[in-house]
Amino acid sequence: MEAASKLTSLDLYRMANELCTVLEQNEGITDDDIDAAIDEFLIGSEDKLDRHRYAIDRFKRSAEMYRAEAKRLQERARMHIDIVDRVKRHARLCLEARVELMGEKEGRSMENAHGLVYLQRYTRLEVDDAPALLDHLGTDSELVKVSHALRRDALTRAMKAGKEPAGVGKLARLVEHNTVIFK
């Protein structure tokens, strides 16, 4: 067999399957060759798992670095958007002053070599107390959107406790999964 440190995950998987087959055929009785193959598997898997740990740690550190960089860039972008909003508020005040001074028709727009700037009017709904308004309108109103979402955590707890609602077992089930933890 190959040197233990050169084994791939696929090699180790195949070795484990072969060892299981041989052990089943021998009804669990080992000999020197089987013991050597088991030792090789154990050494190879230990080395492979250590390399997996190293790779996982390295990529976790990289991911954290990229998340921190993304957060920094998001904050910088937010700062720039805030500046844009502040400059637009100043421009709006300037145009409103022009309207006050020159009248609606002449004051609400200005065109020069750089382009057109104008004051646009629009209507927007402002709600003082959304929960009170929802209560007032009721859920049957065409003005209210009602959404339903499955509370997976609550359903999981109920199913684990054996308190699932009737008929749920036909539509959902708890399934065992494996995960790997490196500490």
3-state class (DSSP) for residue 182: coil
Q: Where exactly are the structural domains of the chain?
A: 4-170
What is the per-residue pLDDT for 100? 95
Q: In sequence order, what DSSP letters do the residues of 47-86 get, joined into one string?
A: HHHHHHHHHHHHHHHHHHHHHHHHHHHHHHHHHHHHHHHH
Q: What pLDDT digit, counting tens, does each position of 96-132 carry?
A: 999 999 999 999 999 999 999 999 988 999 999 999 9
Taking the whole predicted model, whether its pTM rises above 0.85 is answered as: no
Q: Is 1's pLDDT higher than 50?
A: no
pLDDT reading at 63 higher than 80: yes
